[in-house]
């Protein structure tokens, strides 16, 4: 998978790269993303960092539109639940999919999973095209 880096820099970059992407032919645009658990944990606000991880994963998915992925901003977080915080050494993946679109606003649903596939966090983020 061709990885286009995010504009985020250390220590605020949590998503490492796209593992798999499926397209509209399968009915939903979806991506699996690897994540840096140590960076999430080190923020001091790991619950908020998990929501940001889902948002960064949505940017990597690019919303099916490269302009949105590179010029969008996080406009909202909803129904975000953290089951447990990542532990040092955890290998995280994020499954993110487009849940809906209205004009230049896209809602993504995401699930953060540990190496065993168990969900540690889930919720939705809204990304708006343009600048804040």
Q: Domain residues of the chain, as ranges?
A: 16-129
Quote the distance between the C-alpha of residue 10 and its chain's center: 16
Model confidence pLDDT, tens digit, residues 75-132: 999 999 999 998 888 888 888 888 988 998 989 999 999 989 999 999 999 988 776 5
Say if residue 1's pLDDT is above 50.
no
**Average pLDDT of every residue of the chain:** 79
Closest CA to 54 of 122, 129, 131: 122
pLDDT for position 2: 47
Instruction: Taking residues 16-34, report their average pLDDT.
Output: 65
* Predicted structure pTM score: 0.80
Given this structure, which CATH class describes domain 16-129? alpha beta
Residue 61 CA to residue 69 CA, distance in Å, equals 7
pLDDT for position 78: 96
Give the torsion sign (CA, 12, 17, 22, 23): positive
pLDDT for position 65: 45
């Amino acid at each position: 998978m061709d990885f286009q880096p995010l504009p985020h820099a250390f220590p605020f970059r949590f998503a490492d790269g796209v593992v798999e992407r499926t397209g509209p032919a399968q009915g939903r645009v979806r991506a699996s993303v690897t994540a840096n658990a140590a960076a999430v944990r080190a923020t001091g606000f790991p619950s908020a960092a998990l929501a940001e991880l889902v948002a960064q994963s949505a940017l990597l998915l690019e919303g099916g539109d490269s302009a949105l992925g590179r010029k969008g901003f996080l406009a909202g977080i909803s129904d975000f639940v953290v089951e447990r915080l990542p532990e040092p050494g955890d290998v995280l993946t994020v499954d993110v999919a487009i849940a809906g679109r209205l004009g230049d606003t896209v809602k993504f649903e995401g699930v953060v999973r540990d190496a065993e596939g168990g969900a540690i966090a889930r919720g939705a983020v809204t990304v708006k095209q343009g600048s804040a």
